[in-house]
Chains A and B, each alone.
Chain A
Amino acid sequence: MGVVVKIPTQLRAAAGGASSTTVDGTTVGEVLDALYEQFDELRERIADDDGLRRFVNVYIGGEDIRFLDGLETAVEDGDEVTILPAVAGG
C-alpha cells in the first residue's frame, strides 16, 4: 500500500506532471529518497547538503515534521506526506 506523497504544483513539471505518487519507506527521509528514485529532478529542488532546503516544508497528516523528528520521523503504510513551499502570511 505504501506512503502517498503529495507534490505541490510548482514541482509537478519535475515529476512528469504527477500531483501525487506512492512510495515505500519507514521514515520521512526514506520516503523522500524513494521519491527522488522515481523523479531524479526533484532531488536538487527539495534537498540540500543539510537535508531539506530552508524554504521547503514537509508535513505528515498535516503536522510539520519539524515538530516531530524531522527526516527521522517514522511513517507507516497509509500515511500522507505533503511537500509545500514556505509562505509568509499575516
Chain B
Amino acid sequence: MPPQSLSCKECKTPYPLDARYVCERCFGPLEVVYAPREDVDVAALRRRIQAGPHSIWRYQDFLPLEAPPRGTLPAGWTPLLRADRLAEQLGLREVWIKNDAANPTHSFKDRVVAVALARAKELGFQVIACASTGNLANAVAAHSAAAGLESYVFIPADLEEPKILATGIYGTNLVAVRGNYDDVNRLCTEVSGEYPWAFVNVNMRPYYAEGSKTISYEIAEQLGWKVPDRIVAPIASGSLFTKVARGFEEWIELGLVDGAVPTMNGAQASGCSPVATAFADGRDVCRPVKPDTIAKSLAIGNPADGPYALELARRTGGAIDAVTDDEIRAGIKLLAQTTGIFTETAGGVTTAVLAKLAERGDIEADECVVAVITGEGLKTIDCARGTFETHEVDPSLEDFEARVATSTVAA
C-alpha cells in the first residue's frame, strides 16, 4: 500500500509527498493518501506483519515511507494489558490498557516522531524541530540524537521540570517560549515558513500523524486480530484520536479484521476542553480557550483537528467528556492502584473519563473497552505529592511496631 500523494482533507486537492501541511487553495489540512490495494491475501499479510520487528516498523506497509528506516529507536509494540481489577471496580466486564508509557521516551509521541523523522531523512532535511507540550519534546530530542541530526525544540517556559530535563539531556537546542502552547505553536508556524527545518508537527504533520495509526494496529493484533467495541483516548489537538479510528478503518477495509470502527470516546481536562464543550453544545467547530489545567500535555486551546474529532465521536456513537483536576488525580490513583501502571496527567484524564462513562451507564455489559494510556507518571510526578502517608520510623523493631498501626500489618 505505497503512499501515493498528499491530499487536502477539505477540498481533496492533491499535492506531492513533500514537506507541506496546508492546502494552498482552501487552507485545509493535508493528509497522506495511499494507492488502493487489490486482491489482498489476508493470511499472507498477517504472516508478514507477525514476522516483522517488535516495533511500529512491523506495520511499514501502512506508513508513508519509501523504505523502513534503519538504526532508529524502536518505538511501539507496547503492552496491551487486561485490567480486570479496574474493570471490577468500575462494574465493567472487559477493560484493556494500552500502555504507551512503555516507549523509549515514555509516551506515544515516539511513534509519530519515528515516522516524521524517517520521512524527513528521506526528504533530505538536516534539522528536526517541534512545538511541544513536553512529551513531543522528549521524543524529538531523543530520536534526533539517535539519528545524529541537529534539533530545535520549542516548549512553553512553564512546562513541568521533568519534561524539560528529559529533553535537554539529549543535547537539543531547547527554546523556552514565554507563553502557552498555542503561542509556541504560532511561533513555530512562522519559523517553519522561514527556516529549512523539518518541524515534525508543522510541515511534517501529514507524516507525523500517520504514526498514531500504529496504536490501533497493535491493539487489533494483540486482541487476536479483533477490533474492540470502544476506545477511550485523550484529545489535545485531536490528531491521535482521529488517527486511531483511521487505523481500524484501514484494516477493516482491507479485511485484516472484521467488525466496525469502535465507539470513540474522547477525554479532555475541564481546564482545556474546547472539543468537549463543542460536543456538548452540538457545534461542529471549536471555540479556542486559554488552558488552565494540570494536564499540560493536553493543554492545546486551539485544536486543529477538533472538527474531525467531533465528527468522529458523533459518527461512532461516542462522546467527548471533560474531567476536573481533582478527577484527573483520582484517575491517576485509580489506574495505579488497580493495574500497577503509573500514568501522567493525560492518562489520569483518560482513566477518569472511562470511570465517568461507566458510572453514567454508557458502556454495555458485554463490551470490550480499550483505554489508551499515552504517557508515564514520572513526567508529572508532582501530582503524586500529598496523596498518601509515609510511616517514618527509627531502624528498630520496637519503633516499627509502636508507630505503624497494627491494622496495616498483615502478620
Query: Does B25 contact A88, Cβ atoms closer than 8 Å?
Result: no
Query: Does B285 contact A87, Cβ atoms closer than 8 Å?
Result: no
Q: A45-B27, A67-B288, A90-B133 are in contact. List 15 more A-B contacts (CB 8 A).
A: A9-B194, A45-B24, A53-B26, A55-B304, A62-B186, A64-B288, A86-B302, A87-B188, A87-B205, A88-B209, A88-B237, A88-B303, A89-B131, A89-B236, A89-B304
| Residue from the set A10, A11, A86 with the largest chain B CB neighbour count within 10 Å | A86
User: Which residues on B sit within 8 Å (CB–CB) of A54?
Assistant: 285, 307
Query: Does B22 contact A10, Cβ atoms closer than 8 Å?
Result: yes
How many residue pairs bridge A and B at CB < 8 Å?
A: 100
User: Which residues on A sit within 8 Å (CB–CB) of B7?
Assistant: none
Task: Write out, one digit per residue, whether chain B residues 164-196 have a CB within 8 A of any chain A CB (1) or not (0).
Answer: 000000000000000001111110111001100
- How distant is A15 from chain B, measured CB to nearest CB, in Å? 12
User: Which residues on A sit within 8 Å (CB–CB) of B209?
Assistant: 88
User: Which residues on A sit within 8 Å (CB–CB) of B238?
Assistant: 88
Residues of B within 8 A of A (CB): 10, 20-22, 24-29, 109, 112, 131-133, 135-136, 181-186, 188-190, 193-194, 201-202, 205, 209, 236-240, 285, 287-288, 290, 297, 300, 302-305, 307
Report the separation of the CA atoms of residues A25 and B183 in the bound assembly, to the nearest whole angstrom.
Answer: 26
Query: Does B288 contact A84, Cβ atoms closer than 8 Å?
Result: no
Query: Does A85 contact B21, Cβ atoms closer than 8 Å?
Result: yes
Q: Can you list 21 A-B pairs with a CB-CB distance of less than 8 A?
A: A9-B194, A10-B27, A14-B24, A45-B24, A45-B25, A53-B26, A53-B28, A54-B307, A62-B186, A64-B288, A67-B288, A86-B29, A87-B185, A88-B201, A88-B237, A89-B181, A89-B185, A89-B201, A90-B109, A90-B112, A90-B133
Q: Known interface pairs A55-B304, A88-B303. Does A13 touch B205 (Cβ–Cβ under 8 Å)? A: no
